[in-house]
Amino acid sequence: MENKIDFELPFSNPELLQTITGSRDKFILILEEGFDVEISQKSNSLLVHGQKQNVDSAVSVIKSLVGLVNKNIFIGPSDVASAISMQKKGTLEYFSDFYSEIIINDVRNRPIRVKNLGQRNYIQSIKQNEITIGIGPAGTGKTFLAVAMAVSAFKKGEVDKIIITRPAVEAGESLGFLPGDLKEKVDPYLRPIYDAMGAILGSEQSGRLIERGTVEVAPLAYMRGRTLDNAFIILDEAQNTTPSQMKMFLTRLGFNSKMVVNGDVSQIDLPRGNRQSGLIQARRILANLKSIGIVEFSHNDVVRHPLVGLIVQAYEKDEERSSKKFDA
């Protein structure tokens, strides 16, 4: 086994060191878990201990983070996780490029930026096309970035309204038997949207916009028969639409509007039978139409804590061992 080494990384000042370690050393913990190294503080330096390749990788990520901080860019846990992921994929040299543009500032005045190439392609598609279809696993930022783009467009005066919808598959789109008004009936299905809006605008402001009707939240069935002008429309969990529902939704597009359709084709909850996912059909038949962008995310675009990746790997290894025992 390769011998372990120590590397000392000096810092120009204590403030920079504190920023890189994070509150209560949370960034250090993420780096340790991501690269299987031990990191300790010595005066104005960080000591990195572990296998040489892992130490080199951790030091490279730390230096990249220092580069951001020196440009007065705020860093958080997701930035550390993204840098670790890019280092492991051999693309760390492009890390700082993602910080050249701010989508919008969140409720705490922190800038929202893309975290990887998949997210960058997604944002560019939204800017350039009237309809963008984002397909990929949970955790890739599809919903959050769509809401960020919608709020940004609204604040710039590019649209007058934000419309958010989602198929209520579990209730079969028949919400009448559920207690409460329309908002109370639909809320459980749109919680991820509300969470994203709360993070960007704050719960009070997002609540006021909903009350005024500037932000409209409605089940997909309520889109029928409407033409949506001057609006930014988001369809979430689109894998759970039928082909007829998807066609109905897409043909609601009006003048000076943008649509974002998001979904994960590996998480289809439609009733069993002959009901094909409208998202899968739309990806196939709309692929070559102008002004429609289709962005495919992969598991590599998931922005998650490095420990989650280690947990997944551990489960996969256990499944492999169990499979081999069963085969034997």
Look at residue 173 in the predicted model and tell me its pLDDT: 45
**How does strand 131-135 pair with strand 161-166?**
unpaired
pLDDT tens track for 94-119: 899 888 889 999 998 888 989 888 89
Q: Which is higher by pLDDT, 176 or 19?
A: 19
Q: What is the DSSP string of 196-265?
A: HHHHHH-HHHHHHHHHHTSEEEEEGGGGTT--B-SEEEEE-SGGGS-HHHHHHHHTTB-TT-EEEEEE-T
* Domain annotation for the chain: domains and CATH numbers: 4-100 (3.30.1370.10), 116-297 (3.40.50.300)
124 has pLDDT over 80 = yes
pLDDT tens track for 153-179: 999 999 999 999 988 755 444 445 455
Confidence of residue 183 (pLDDT cuts 50, 70, 90): low
327 has pLDDT over 90 = no
262 has pLDDT over 80 = yes
CA-CA distance, 76 to 26, in Å (whole number)?
10
> What mean pLDDT is predicted for residues 123-133?
97
252 has pLDDT over 60 = yes
237 has pLDDT over 80 = yes
> What mean pLDDT is predicted for residues 177-195?
67
Confidence of residue 2 (pLDDT cuts 50, 70, 90): low
320 has pLDDT over 90 = no
Say whether 145 sits in a helix, a strand or coil: helix
Type and span of the H or E element at 45 = strand 45-51
> What mean pLDDT is predicted for residues 272-286?
85
283 has pLDDT over 90 = yes
> What mean pLDDT is predicted for residues 50-69?
96
* Least confident stretch, 6-15, 117-126, 127-136, 171-180: 171-180
* Least confident stretch, 178-192, 292-306, 308-322: 178-192
274 has pLDDT over 60 = no
